[in-house]
A = this chain, B = another copy of it.
Amino acid sequence: MTNRRNIVLLTEFDGTHYTGWQSQKSTPTIQETIRNAILKITGEEVVLYGCSRTDAGVHAHGHMSNFFSETRIPISRLPIALNSTLPSDISILKAAFAPKDFHARFSSIGKKYCYRIHNNPSRPALGRDRFYHIPKPLDLDQMRKAAGYFCGEHDFSGFMSKKSIVKTTVREIYEIVISKKCSLIEIFICGNGFLTHMVRIICGSLVDVGLGRISPENICDIMESKDRRKAGKTLPGHGLYLEEVYYPEPPFSDFNT
């Protein structure tokens, strides 16, 4: 009988210096960096399952991953142990045991992303790797109107990277909330799943609406056309944050506290 248990990690990371989550040859990834920390702390070479493949430069406040381990380190001490060897731009916030069949990616029923924009004539010095800078004023009322057209179940093939290989391009967006405080605009998007670059292309299209380049109603036409060229540009990765991953039985009940 084995003592291998399924361990879930809740991780915050600054994606600035990484090529994304997934392991690649000869470039630093978040996945490889955490795997190396687990090896150093537990002595085990594990397979680390991530909730999604985040792109280069993208950040996370609530990334989820899991791995099987026989470690005897108390689960409550594991974040401190891993953080002691991880670089300062990755922090394990919590660790917990999960049922054997829990999988960070396949058990997920949805995700919340946030795209952060610095909307001010001057570029930000303190948030330069955290926010996308748009110097011209954005019309938030028009953006919120446009956001309504994205909500619900739609074929998002006009809002994905051409290199996507997926079974279906239908996804459901539960909610888009756009808030502003001083120069910071936050676009929160919740949905059951997202195609490659989908959040960044939706946000690029919302910015086009905010700048008056297209009308909110145009979103319907672009969606129906399924033509990537008609949608807005893919906004850069450094404004995007994975905020939360949803599961039928959340491994961390007090996630947001």
Chain A residues in the interface with B (C-beta under 8 A): 11-14, 59, 61, 79-80, 83, 88-94, 120-126, 128, 130, 182, 256
> Chain B residues with Cβ under 8 A from A125's Cβ?
11-14, 88-91
A110 to chain B, nearest CB (A): 21
* A129: nearest chain-B partner, CB-CB: B88
Number of copies: 2
Q: How far apart are the CA atoms of A121 and B78 in the complex, in Å?
A: 12
A167 to chain B, nearest CB (A): 34
Q: How far apart are the CA atoms of A83 and B123 in the complex, in Å?
A: 8
* A257: nearest chain-B partner, CB-CB: B182
Q: Does B122 lie within 8 Å of A91, measured CB to CB?
A: yes
A93 to chain B, nearest CB (A): 5
Given A14-B126, A61-B126, A88-B125, 4 more contacts at CB 8 Å? A12-B126, A14-B125, A91-B125, A126-B130
> Chain B residues with Cβ under 8 A from A14's Cβ?
125-126, 128
Q: How far apart are the CA atoms of A12 and B122 in the complex, in Å?
A: 10
Q: Does A88 lie within 8 Å of B123, measured CB to CB?
A: yes
* A88: nearest chain-B partner, CB-CB: B128
Q: How far apart are the CA atoms of A12 and B183 in the complex, in Å?
A: 13
Top 7 A-B pairs ranked by shortest CB distance? Answer: A91-B125, A12-B125, A93-B122, A88-B128, A14-B126, A13-B125, A14-B125
Q: How far apart are the CA atoms of A182 and B122 in the complex, in Å?
A: 28
> Chain B residues with Cβ under 8 A from A256's Cβ?
182
